[in-house]
Structure 1
């Protein structure tokens, strides 16, 4: 039986993270079986998830340091009841211990900062375009007449208000867009097409680092791009067009920000 509810990016995230009930998971699996390009992307995310779990396993299995043991903290708290500031410090430590094992993530923040910059955005844009740029049946979830809904949805999930650039003067008409998953959270994808059916897309997401950068050019196989960041938002314009052709279009996108 075909589900009356379309498969969304939330469903795909839930599939990777094993958060869906059996019925919905079966529906997503059926969808992936019919969309091998998207299935390949989801398989890649699943491998990344397992790799992260494997990398974190040695840290997760480490015993809690004695100084952060709950019993030790509670005993210290009882001994220091007469000193309010000591009690407050103990309470803060208790929150740290209870906060999803934050003590064990001592290297994660550093590792993430090294892979969350403009180079990561460029790679994500190319990977995303390799899936949706070639999809002739379901490349976008919101069509060209649904700009307001698309912008609202992207804003609600990314915290960034994105304007849809007008690129007809450059020979490209807006096809629509969708919300997509990246290793660094949700991102908005805007798709365009020219009169010859050649597509280009712009990926937009918040940036944890490299929050303001100049334009940089990149190529991944037959996908080229121009990537930059402004005021904490990253932009990557990608497609099969040469960088020489993409750069003026990227300049126009930035002018319309």
Structure 2
């Protein structure tokens, strides 16, 4: 029997530090506990925002006065001021993989409506599109099973747009947790391996119908809209920015025609 899901497991899940077998157990737990999934989705969003903000700093060479060998030598020569070492350690920890624990209790302004959907789509794309091993949970070959899974979790009928006319092959998808409940994430790629994705979920109390609008979060660009209580955002990297609008128009046309 598998051991119960602990808070340590949940924070390791946020930090993408779980082995595959345990990750699948945690995902199953979050699917059946939407309140917990929403809370830990916020931690993940905060982690990604901090990584985006601190990434350029973390990528810089370590200053000489913070080099470990230099610190050891300096400690032998004189007492090292404690707060300076703590500040350096905190910066490296937040920029790296330990942010799940560090971020507990930190509040952030939460966007709402179509703006929240756009942000959620950007974060989901940033997490899953670079994944070489598990970019999707259910592959395109099992699209019927994927469709049933997403519809069950969203309690809404959905459509899987065919974007092959724009040069993008359907890879498959998954259910992801967002700040506003479960969402379906559909992944596509082109002949060069460039990926785009569509995130869809029910809209809650706001923007149940919204015109298509462009959005950008860091290096992720997208177009978000809502029809009859369902929100959608098609997102991709900067390299695809010039091509996303007509693809989003085609995806919206197909969804409207099928639902």
User: How high is the TM-score relative to the length of structure 2?
Assistant: 0.60
1:6 to 8, 24, 36: 24
Residue 132 of structure 2: aligned partner = 136
Q: CA offset at residue 4 of structure 1?
A: 8.9
Are residues 1:174 and 2:170 paired?
yes
Gaps of 5+ in 1: 19-38, 56-110
Spell out, residue by residue over 1:40-95, the C-alpha distance to the aligned partner (whole angstroms, 9 max, x if none).
Answer: 69939x947x347xx9xxxxxxxxxxxxxxxxxxxxxxxxxxxxxxxxxxxxxxxx
Gaps of 5+ in 2: 3-18, 38-95
Give the match's secondary structure for 1:192.
strand
Are residues 1:43 and 2:43 paired?
no
Q: CA offset at residue 10 of structure 1?
A: 3.4
Q: In the aligned structure 1, how far is the partner of 2:173 from the partner of 2:133? A: 14
Residue 238 of structure 1: aligned partner = 235
Spell out, residue by residue over 1:95-124, the C-alpha distance to the aligned partner (whole angstroms, 9 max, x if none).
Answer: xxxxxxxxxxxxxxxx9xx73300110011
Cα 1:6–1:42 change in 2 (3 A) is: farther
Q: In the aligned structure 1, how far is the partner of 2:99 from the partner of 2:156? A: 25
Give the match's secondary structure for 2:208.
coil
* Residues 9 and 181 in structure 1, CA contact (< 8 A), matched pair in contact too: no
2:203 to 197, 201, 207: 207
Q: In the aligned structure 2, how far is the partner of 1:203 from the partner of 1:220? A: 15
Spell out, residue by residue over 1:169-222, the C-alpha distance to the aligned partner (whole angstroms, 9 max, x if none).
Answer: 100000000000001100000000000000000000000110101110011121
Are residues 1:248 and 2:224 paired?
no
* Residues 226 and 243 in structure 1, CA contact (< 8 A), matched pair in contact too: no
Are residues 1:228 and 2:225 paired?
yes
* Residues 34 and 182 in structure 2, CA contact (< 8 A), matched pair in contact too: no
Residue 91 of structure 2: aligned partner = none
Q: CA offset at residue 128 of structure 1?
A: 0.5
* Residues 211 and 229 in structure 1, CA contact (< 8 A), matched pair in contact too: yes
Spell out, residue by residue over 1:142-187, the C-alpha distance to the aligned partner (whole angstroms, 9 max, x if none).
Answer: 1011111111111111112111100111000000000000011000
Q: In the aligned structure 2, how far is the partner of 1:175 from the partner of 1:142? A: 9
Give the match's secondary structure for 2:138.
coil
Cα 1:5–1:216 change in 2 (3 A) is: closer
Q: CA offset at residue 7 of structure 1?
A: 3.5
Q: CA offset at residue 8 of structure 1?
A: 5.5
Residue 183 of structure 1: aligned partner = 179
* Residues 177 and 183 in structure 2, CA contact (< 8 A), matched pair in contact too: yes
Structure number with the bigger relative contact order (C-alpha 8 A, sep ≥ 6) is 2
For this pair of structures, how many residues does the alignment match?
A: 176
Structure with larger Rg: 1
User: How high is the TM-score relative to the length of structure 1?
Assistant: 0.61
Q: In the aligned structure 2, how far is the partner of 1:226 from the partner of 1:148? A: 26
